[in-house]
Amino acid sequence: MGGSEAGKGTTFIIRFPHCGLKLQQPQPQASGHESQSGKQGRSLSVLVVDDEAVVQKIVGEYLKIGGHKVEAASSGHAGVEKFQQGHYDLVLVDRAMPDMNGDQVAAAIKSANASVPVVMLTGFGTMMDAAGERPAGVDFVVGKPVTIAGLRTALSKVVASRS
């Protein structure tokens, strides 16, 4: 391996061993162009509630790729407070948080506005789906590691459920 060369750039490989996310580039569609389905037809205002800053950032970036507006909260209490003060089309919430877990956040969101969909992010998503288990107040479950494809699928389900 040689040294750096001016104007050639540098490649970095970044691994997040315990954050529960899998980074991957969006796959091009068969037609060779990005369709509006990647943006779910319209821009959504999304609140991401997760106590891990790296998860907030990466999930936020995934959503922004799809053309959505994203705000984040670093705890369950902060997420509920932010939700009560703003307007969101969708809430993504981590299940395992120390002060107020995702189940409690989902219940509080639905208590404040039952029409706003809540998507839970959890490492147990596959098992929960297989068992047909969904906590009260949760509309959809997305398993970790979270991928762009997984978020797009969840957003498609959210949009379809609101139509």
Structure tokens at 90: 């969708």
Is the Cβ–Cβ distance between 119 and 90 less than 8 Å? yes
Buried b (16+ CB within 10 A) or exposed e, 97-115: beebbbbbbbbbbbeeeee
Give the DSSP letter of residue 144. S
Q: What is the DSSP letter of 26?
A: P
Q: Residue 4: CB partners within 8 Å, gap ≥ 6?
A: 10
Architecture of domain 42-162: 3-Layer(aba) Sandwich (3.40)
C-beta of residue 81 within 8 angstroms of C-beta of residue 93: no
Q: How far apart are CA 82 and CA 3, in angstroms?
A: 48
Burial 45-83 (b: 16+ CB within 10 A, else e): ebbbbbbbeebbbbbbebbebbebebbbbbbbbbbbebb
Per-residue pLDDT of the chain (163 residues; tens, 9 = 90+): 455 555 555 444 444 444 444 444 444 333 333 333 344 467 899 999 999 999 899 999 999 988 999 999 999 999 999 999 999 999 999 998 998 999 999 999 999 999 999 999 887 655 566 556 677 899 988 887 888 888 888 888 888 877 6
